Structure 1
Amino acid sequence: MSPPVYSRYRTAFVEALAQSLGVPASEIDSQVKPADPAHGDLSFPTFPLAKAQKKAPPAIAAALAQGVKVPGLEIVAAGPYVNAKFSPMPFTAEVIDAARSQGVRYGGSDVGAGKTVVMDYSSPNIAKPIAFHHIRSTVIGHAVANLHRALGYRVEGINYLGDWGKQFGLVAVGFQEYGEADKRQDMAHLVQVYVKANKRAEQEPAFDERARDFFRRMEAGDAEALTLWKEFRETSVRDFERIYARLGVKFEHMEGESFYQGKMEPVIEEISRAVGVKESQGATIVDLAYEENEPPVLLKKNDGSTLYATRDLAAAIDRHERFHFDKSLYVVATDQALHFRQLFRVLKAMGRSFVDRMVHVNFGRVHGMSTRQGNVVLLTDVLDEARARARTIVDKNIEEGKIQTDDPEKLAEQIGLGAIFFGDLKNRRGTDYTFDWDDVLNLTGHTGAYLQYAHARACNILRKGGGAPASYDATLLTLPEEQAVLRAIARLPVVVQEAAEQQEPSFVARWLLDLAAAFSSYYTAGNQDRNKRVVLEGHDALKAARLALTDATRAALAAGLTLLGIATPENM
């Protein structure tokens, strides 16, 4: 795959500057930034050169601008900066052709070819429902996985289920007390049982001990306990898969903590040899130098049962042995930061060098989604409400002639899911955000619906214009509005790479908003000036060029939305 247009010009600019200065390109690469649009596309500051050259920065910039020549770039000095602007040609044709030819794959590259990234995300607990708070790990993980796939990485996505531990003991003994035999495969019933059992365990130590004892039987390999565990696990997984199918989220592996049952003793023995362990109140802990008030890393409780940390250590080693990963990403809430710091610290102390390729992709909390009773908000309930609210908006806009669709229910589902996904992904993942229905479903705000409408608008313009042209004259696209759209389209490949490197899908979300805004300014400019209309009848060559640009916009919007897991309706 050839380098993206934007990157190719930027690289040529960096290399020309480096050659003129007599330094390696790597020495100045980080200093070349996007320019203020009023002054160009790329900018290089000369302040750092003033001391060595004993010249004023503006004088250095003037000399560089005069001496540096790059085909396809207009290079000028602006005070202490050397600015480069993409020449209309061949830049215009290159951007349009790249987006149209690559379609939904536009923005991708092969920089990750031959490399593997392992991703741990979503990870609900069995015998519990997928709650709304699982949405962040699920959609962020899905988007980060898509970004890596777009760059050519082999992605091994793992839904690491919480299917082992005392909480299952609560479900089991709770079912003995409150369960109905004919509802053993009813997920909703299992949830009711768990809620009752958990509440009782908080009030009755003896009941809590029964749950612990059941889990000890599981770890000891008790056949009856494991049979019940397997049945309840399968019930949960079936329910999970139904929800994931609705979200359009797929995993390469659906594994749980139980995968490492029987594989933890060798890990504990290795830690004992390489790092050291000691007893603390009957529990086995890793013998590290802990900070004041820092809880120790527990490997075994005083009753001999293993813990989450033990299984995570076994999982990390196993994943490296299975996949030989170049990256291992854990998309888990910021609340678990200490756990991952300790996990990585223990692996480092064990001499496991692959720990340097492991990253905790943390994220903040969602506020504003709760019930008066404080109960868990089910994800399915939120998705259903999103669809119902979107259907109301769709029906209203159909009546007013603002939306056209043959399947309003399908469109409502697409808008509803898009609202949930984009409402999350437009935020920097490390920050908290407040969920608000009016905000996420606004057709004119910074929302998924607004972007879906922009894509559908592009499709509609193409239909009115007779379809995307096979050939066009790129030299005719000289309007400032057209050039703004082109520059936005050209940035996607760079944005995708930066978003993957920083595990930050919000970069793509913000880019989508920028492109949609530039496109909106472009097609509405024709309302004030007839000559700026995209479908300009009586001017076939100009009409074809503008339709080609519209087609490139459609492709770029579809590519960006698809990376985020959002549907791209063609009628809206």
Structure 2
Amino acid sequence: MTQFLHDRLFEAFASALAAAVGQPVDAIRAQVKPAEPEHGDLAFPTFPLAKQLRKGPPAIAAELAGKLSVPGLQVAAAGPYVNARFEPRAFMDGVLSEARGAGVGYGSSDTGRGKTVVIDYSSPNIAKPIAFHHLRTTLIGHAIANLYRGQGWQVEGINYLGDWGKQFGLVAVGLQEYGDPARRGEMAHLVDVYVKANARAETDPAFDAEARAFFRKMEEGDPEARALWSELRETSLRGFQPTYERLGIRFEHVDGESLYEDRMDAVIEEIARTVGVKESEGALIVDLPYAEGEPPVLLRKADGSTLYATRDLAAAEDRWERFHFDRSLYVVARDQSLHFAQVFGVLKAMGKPWADRCVHVSFGRIMGMSTRAGRLVLLNQVLDEARARALEKVKESAASGRIHTEEPERLAEQVGLGAVVFGDLKNRRNTDYTFDWDEVLEFDGHTGPYLQYAHARACNLLKRGGGAPARADAGLLTLPEEQQLARMLARFPVQVRAAVEQDEPSFVARHLIDVAVEFSRWYTLGNQDRDKRVVHETDAALRAARLALADAVRIVLATGLQLLGIAAPESM
């Protein structure tokens, strides 16, 4: 397992404490937390030892601190806490060597070597557009896939398309009423037809029944219905691809619900044999004990058509057969929590030993952009608007001299998309949030453009200083701001690992903000004091040391942005 500088110092402190108090290191490790900045870097509370040792916590802390001698750490007591501060010179040298030695990709490890994770994300419906509400599953899933890859996992990302359902019936009968034969192969035309057909089905029962009848013909294998379904599927896939390319997203597999339509009977038979099934109001359900008010798991409706649960059960078995996964993640909205709890519960009841490896990676809702005048908001429309708004900001900033670019259109695309992506990923995934254009595009807030600007600033400092130095004396970096910035850099791999362990990209996003804030605080010191400028005018050794620190910042920001799926412009 890869251990980084912060890990090594943490483990050394925990091991020394464990030896001193005669307890297992695992028990001590769980109690060591980050210290208050004025007291150090790591803290161990002695309250739990008071009863055992029959002493007051401050006395215990003072006694322990006097006993401990750990290379690389300065240990001292502060009240009831034993605190450890990283030895400044060795720590700075270690951070710079580690980050600059790794380059972009710093924080990667081999902890997942030999393990496979399946990630089901994005999953739009065929014959319907990729709407704005697909944003969260797409971005969160993509970031999680990047994070797992960086930790050495074999990632099997699946775009599990909703390519089997009544929506095909709506488009099929809608084409007869609203279709233009000359535009039949255009995704935009299919979307227009679907919107009109869906609206009509809500008020015209006969039209809705016709759509359902078409879907039943598909399930029964009608050649004409299947041919039209295949055509619509291919048109949709072509329509989706530009959006994914724009976001830099690539899936290892593009599957669909249709993949399992010929496995429904086998799945139902297995459930009947292992768990039990029964009829309820003409439908077939899984015979399980249900909580009061809990809807049953439906396998087949009264008209013979299957449901999501049936297909998800078949898909789970198929993924196990194909990948023998260590984890199987479903990046799907929190609204579907009951559905996945029931699906996983059925798998467990069926005796599948891998059922506990299936995880619903849920997320909250976005408010503020659901509809416009009753019309569905498409993801590409939002990305286009982001680019347009970013272009205005880029031109304003260029005119004021704040940023410099020879490619405003390209930079606007990077900044606009970065604003939308980071605006989502900085939020804890189960948190609901309100989308606000002014907020996400702000260059001075906790935003994507702020991070991109910080990265470009680091690149510019290196360019002005003649490039990243091959060697530097880390002992010259003694300013408190330099030490604090180094602490942020050293904690980056810790946050990356935590993001994987909890499937929470926001840990990385928020830590990048902390890095950028400390970086800004440091490099702006030179505005008031020429001797604190990064590109020092007279001291070549000090200039090299500070440029090495700026280089480490560049590496961490570039790595983090890459993990989140955001471009890192080198100039702006």
Task: Name the TM-score class by shorter chain.
Answer: over 0.9
Could you say which residue in structure 2 is the equivalent of 1:115? 115
2:376 aligned counterpart, secondary structure: coil
Could you say which residue in structure 1 is the equivalent of 2:172? 172
Contact 2:2 2:111 survives alignment (8 Å): no
Question: What is the alpha-carbon distance in structure 2 between the residues aligned to residue 177 and residue 372 of structure 1?
Answer: 25
Measure how far apart 1:89 and its partner are: 2.8
Could you say which residue in structure 1 is the equivalent of 2:492? 492
Written as runs of structure 1 = structure 2, the 5 A alignment for 1:30-41 is 30-41=30-41
1:494 aligned counterpart, secondary structure: helix
Could you say which residue in structure 2 is the equivalent of 1:294? 294
* Deviations, residues 360-413 of structure 1 (Å, cap 9, x unaligned): 111111111144422110111111110011001111111111111121100000
1:430 aligned counterpart, secondary structure: coil
Could you say which residue in structure 1 is the equivalent of 2:217? 217
Match for 2:281: what amino acid?
Answer: Q
| Pair 1:130–1:25, CA change in 2 (3 A) | same
Q: Within the alignment, does 1:376 sit opposite 2:376 as a pair?
A: yes
Measure how far apart 1:11 and its partner are: 0.9
1:359 aligned counterpart, secondary structure: strand
Question: What is the alpha-carbon distance in structure 2 between the residues aligned to residue 98 and residue 185 of structure 1?
Answer: 53
Could you say which residue in structure 2 is the equivalent of 1:96? 96
Written as runs of structure 1 = structure 2, the 5 A alignment for 1:65-464 is 65-464=65-464
Measure how far apart 1:292 and its partner are: 2.0
Match for 1:139: what amino acid?
Answer: L
Match for 1:322: what amino acid?
Answer: R
Question: What is the alpha-carbon distance in structure 2 between the residues aligned to residue 406 and residue 495 of structure 1?
Answer: 35
Measure how far apart 1:352 and its partner are: 1.1
- TM-score between both structures, scaled by the size of structure 2: 0.99
2:122 aligned counterpart, secondary structure: coil
Q: Which moved more, 1:551-560 or 1:18-27?
A: 18-27
2:51 aligned counterpart, secondary structure: helix
Contact 1:441 1:449 survives alignment (8 Å): yes
2:299 aligned counterpart, secondary structure: strand
Length, aligned pairs only: 572
Question: What is the alpha-carbon distance in structure 2 between the residues aligned to residue 70 and residue 223 of structure 1?
Answer: 75
2:494 aligned counterpart, secondary structure: helix
Question: What is the alpha-carbon distance in structure 2 between the residues aligned to residue 32 and residue 118 of structure 1?
Answer: 33
Could you say which residue in structure 2 is the equivalent of 1:534? 534
List gaps (5 residues or longer) in structure 1: none
Question: What is the alpha-carbon distance in structure 2 between the residues aligned to residue 332 and residue 281 of structure 1?
Answer: 29
Match for 1:523: what amino acid?
Answer: Y
Q: Which moved more, 1:175-184 or 1:64-73?
A: 175-184
Q: Which moved more, 1:290-299 or 1:389-398?
A: 290-299
Match for 2:526: what amino acid?
Answer: G
Q: Over aligned residue pairs, what C-alpha RMSD do you find?
A: 1.0
Contact 1:20 1:67 survives alignment (8 Å): yes
Measure how far apart 1:419 and its partner are: 0.3
Match for 1:233: what amino acid?
Answer: R
Question: What is the alpha-carbon distance in structure 1 between the residues aligned to residue 111 and residue 68 of structure 2?
Answer: 29
1:353 aligned counterpart, secondary structure: coil
Q: Which moved more, 1:352-361 or 1:549-558?
A: 352-361
Question: What is the alpha-carbon distance in structure 2 between the residues aligned to residue 83 and residue 371 of structure 1?
Answer: 53
Question: What is the alpha-carbon distance in structure 2 between the residues aligned to residue 372 and residue 405 of structure 1?
Answer: 34
Question: What is the alpha-carbon distance in structure 1 between the residues aligned to residue 373 and residue 407 of structure 2?
Answer: 37
Question: What is the alpha-carbon distance in structure 2 between the residues aligned to residue 215 and residue 371 of structure 1?
Answer: 28
- TM-score between both structures, scaled by the size of structure 1: 0.99
Could you say which residue in structure 2 is the equivalent of 1:480? 480
Contact 1:72 1:89 survives alignment (8 Å): no
Match for 1:444: what amino acid?
Answer: D
Match for 1:375: what amino acid?
Answer: R
Measure how far apart 1:2 and its partner are: 4.3
Question: What is the alpha-carbon distance in structure 2 between the residues aligned to residue 268 and residue 297 of structure 1?
Answer: 12
Could you say which residue in structure 2 is the equivalent of 1:507? 507
Could you say which residue in structure 1 is the equivalent of 2:516? 516
Question: What is the alpha-carbon distance in structure 2 between the residues aligned to residue 436 and residue 202 of structure 1?
Answer: 32
Could you say which residue in structure 1 is the equivalent of 2:45? 45
Contact 2:411 2:569 survives alignment (8 Å): yes
* Deviations, residues 316-374 of structure 1 (Å, cap 9, x unaligned): 11111111111111111111111111111111111112111111111111111144422
Match for 2:441: what amino acid?
Answer: L
* Deviations, residues 90-140 of structure 1 (Å, cap 9, x unaligned): 211111111112222111111111111110111110111111111111111
Question: What is the alpha-carbon distance in structure 1 between the residues aligned to residue 372 and residue 164 of structure 2?
Answer: 31
Match for 2:165: what amino acid?
Answer: G
* Deviations, residues 287-324 of structure 1 (Å, cap 9, x unaligned): 11112222111101111111111000001111111111
Match for 1:570: what amino acid?
Answer: E
1:84 aligned counterpart, secondary structure: strand
Contact 1:363 1:430 survives alignment (8 Å): yes
Q: Within the alignment, does 1:554 sit opposite 2:554 as a pair?
A: yes
Question: What is the alpha-carbon distance in structure 1 between the residues aligned to residue 190 and residue 517 of structure 2?
Answer: 47
Question: What is the alpha-carbon distance in structure 2 between the residues aligned to residue 101 and residue 373 of structure 1?
Answer: 54
| Pair 1:563–1:81, CA change in 2 (3 A) | same
Measure how far apart 1:520 and its partner are: 0.4
1:104 aligned counterpart, secondary structure: coil
Could you say which residue in structure 2 is the equivalent of 1:525? 525
Measure how far apart 1:88 and its partner are: 1.4
Match for 2:560: what amino acid?
Answer: G
Runs of 4+ in 1 over 4 A off after TM superposition: none
Question: What is the alpha-carbon distance in structure 2 between the residues aligned to residue 280 and residue 173 of structure 1?
Answer: 31
